[in-house]
């Protein structure tokens, strides 16, 4: 089914490779304490890692759609992992990064346009929608591996904090994406199983689903429940609130380096 996709349409974009390079170099700078400003190195690592995860999230949607029958994915450039090829670059890349900087929360955003009429079978439609947030889950599991494997003490402290905060973003993104709200992937998972009448009634509200979710998150009680759930998941993976807190504090390098016993100066 993928034979119609040319090598050029599958070639990884230099833009994505550049993002990976920034992530790796900044990770090295944090690990070795090479940077004169550990906070700035953490900032670069987290932002570049977050954008890389967004690219992988959308790639998972596109790849699943390709194997389900939508061969138009290749021509749209979605298989190159180039974020500039997304339908809404501002919604999918710029806005999520701004939310990370402002509030330390992983903002989901739809980006790839899938021609659903080319795809047969409700399970395939559900899998395409689930593939994105499942990528965030896998990314979070990989980032927290030193914690749940019991080897976090062998990781340099600031790098451990950076891993914890980046993993927190993945967890928040996965939870929000899996909400069965129109416009989010969670709704895309259940939509194929709904009646045509219900889908027609819900369709006009899809563009406002994400805004509604974040509006509800401003309610203190809801916000508390949400972050309690996030913290519970992080603890299950071996990551403490202490790690994620200092990860975010170092990330906000413009506020000055946090004071923490054992970091030297």
Q: Which residues does 111 contact at the CB level (< 8 Å), separation at least 6?
A: 54, 58, 83, 86, 87, 88, 89, 91, 92
Return the SS3 of 110.
coil
Which is the catalytic residue, given 58, 191, 221, 249?
Answer: 58
Best CA proximity match to 110, nearest among 163, 188, 47, 48: 188
Whether 115 is catalytic is: no
Exposure string for 93-129, b = 16+ CB within 10 A, e = fewer: beebeebbeeebbbbbbbbbbbebeebeeeebbbbbb
Alpha helices in the chain (DSSP H): 7-10, 14-32, 38-68, 72-75, 89, 95-103, 122-143, 145-148, 157-177, 185-190, 196-202, 209-217, 220-236, 241-251
| Residues, the chain | 265
Residue 96 is classified by DSSP as: H
The per-residue DSSP string of 135-169 comes to HHHHHHHHHTHHHHTT-GGGS-HHHHHHHHHHHHH
The per-residue DSSP string of 58-95 comes to HHHHHHHHHHHT-THHHHTTGGGT-GGGSS-HIIIIIH
C-alpha angle with apex 220: 219 to 226, nearest 5 degrees? 90
Catalytic residues: 58
């Amino acid at each position: 089914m993928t034979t119609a996709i040319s090598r050029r349409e599958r070639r990884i974009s230099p833009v994505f490779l550049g993002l990976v390079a920034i992530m790796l170099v900044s990770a090295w700078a944090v690990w070795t304490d090479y940077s004169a400003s550990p906070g700035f190195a953490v900032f670069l690592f987290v932002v570049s890692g977050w954008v890389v995860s967004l690219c992988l999230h959308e790639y998972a949607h596109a790849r699943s759609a390709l194997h389900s029958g939508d061969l138009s994915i290749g021509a749209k450039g979605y298989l190159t992992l180039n974020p500039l090829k997304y339908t809404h670059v501002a919604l999918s890349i710029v806005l999520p990064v701004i939310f990370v900087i402002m509030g330390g929360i992983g903002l989901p955003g739809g980006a790839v346009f899938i021609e659903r009429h080319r795809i047969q079978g409700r399970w395939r439609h559900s899998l395409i929608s689930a593939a994105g947030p499942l990528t965030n889950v896998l990314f979070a599991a990989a980032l927290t591996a030193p914690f749940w494997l019991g080897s976090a003490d062998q990781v340099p402290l600031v790098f451990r904090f950076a891993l914890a905060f980046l993993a927190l973003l993945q967890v928040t993104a996965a939870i929000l994406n899996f909400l069965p709200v129109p416009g989010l992937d969670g709704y895309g998972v259940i939509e194929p199983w709904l009646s045509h009448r219900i889908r027609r009634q819900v369709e006009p509200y899809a563009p406002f689903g994400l805004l509604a979710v974040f509006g509800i998150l401003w309610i203190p009680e809801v916000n508390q429940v949400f972050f309690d759930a996030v913290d519970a998941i992080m603890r299950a993976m071996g990551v403490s609130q202490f790690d994620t807190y200092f990860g975010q504090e170092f990330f906000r390098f413009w506020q000055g380096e946090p004071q923490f016993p054992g970091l030297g100066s």
